[in-house]
């Protein structure tokens, strides 16, 4: 529990450090929190796979709009698994940057988007060395407006992790999030 709180505090600090300097810009700023997410990761040359399900803050993102149809979006996600009775734990932390293209050019407030991205993921578990992986991916999604300042974000994603500390991997995911627009 303490480790999960520390990870959440670091995520909030990272998003804050990104958002505060951007407050001075005249373009739209968007904050997104994951409400629900699921991702299946398969590692090449092995039967090993990882299924992650996250609820209530599985990921956080800050979108800074470069134009009505494009943004740059740093993201952070974290999952933590603890096994009761001293069985150990595992943690996955990922940092990424996406470049969403919004087809309707409405400052990302509604409609479909395509978001290529780069991601760095760190996996750690009890009694195992921490291992990292760099990857490229793409998300396809849409935003459904809830009002002038908020939208429901639905997306599907694919990521390819390059071989490094870990074997190469492929990941398929789906998520739902709540976006709030500050301007």
Q: Which domain holds residue 93?
A: 2-181
User: What pTM, to 2 d.p., does this model score?
Assistant: 0.78
Give me 1's structure tokens: 């529990």
CATH of the domain at 174: 2.40.160.20
DSSP 167: -
**Domain total for the chain?**
1
pLDDT tens digit string along 59-79? 899 999 999 999 999 999 888
Contacts of 53 (CB under 8 A, 6+ apart): 37, 38
Across 1-10, 15-24, 47-56, 103-112, which has the greatest mean pLDDT? Answer: 103-112
Q: What is the pLDDT of residue 85?
A: 66
Q: What is the pLDDT of residue 1?
A: 44
Give me 180's structure tokens: 């709030």
| Confidence class for position 44, pLDDT limits 50, 70, 90 | confident
**Contact status, residue 44 vs residue 167, Cβ threshold 8 Å:** yes
């Amino acid at each position: 529990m303490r480790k999960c709180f520390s990870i959440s505090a670091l995520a909030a600090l990272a998003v804050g450090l990104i958002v505060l300097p951007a407050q001075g810009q005249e373009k739209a700023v968007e904050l997104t929190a994951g409400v629900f997410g699921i991702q299946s990761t398969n590692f090449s040359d092995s039967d090993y796979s990882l299924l992650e399900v996250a609820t209530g803050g599985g990921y956080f993102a800050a979108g800074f709009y470069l134009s009505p149809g494009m943004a740059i979006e740093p993201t952070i996600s974290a999952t933590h698994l603890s096994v009761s009775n001293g069985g150990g734990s595992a943690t996955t932390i990922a940092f990424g940057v996406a470049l969403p293209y919004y087809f309707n050019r409405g400052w990302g407030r509604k409609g479909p988007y395509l978001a290529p991205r780069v991601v760095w993921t760190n996996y750690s578990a009890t009694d195992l060395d921490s291992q990292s992986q760099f990857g490229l991916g793409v998300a396809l999604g849409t935003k459904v407006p809830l009002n002038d300042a908020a939208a429901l974000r639905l997306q599907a994603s694919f990521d390819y992790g390059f071989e490094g500390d870990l074997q190469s991997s492929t990941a398929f995911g789906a998520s739902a999030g709540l976006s709030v627009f500050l301007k």
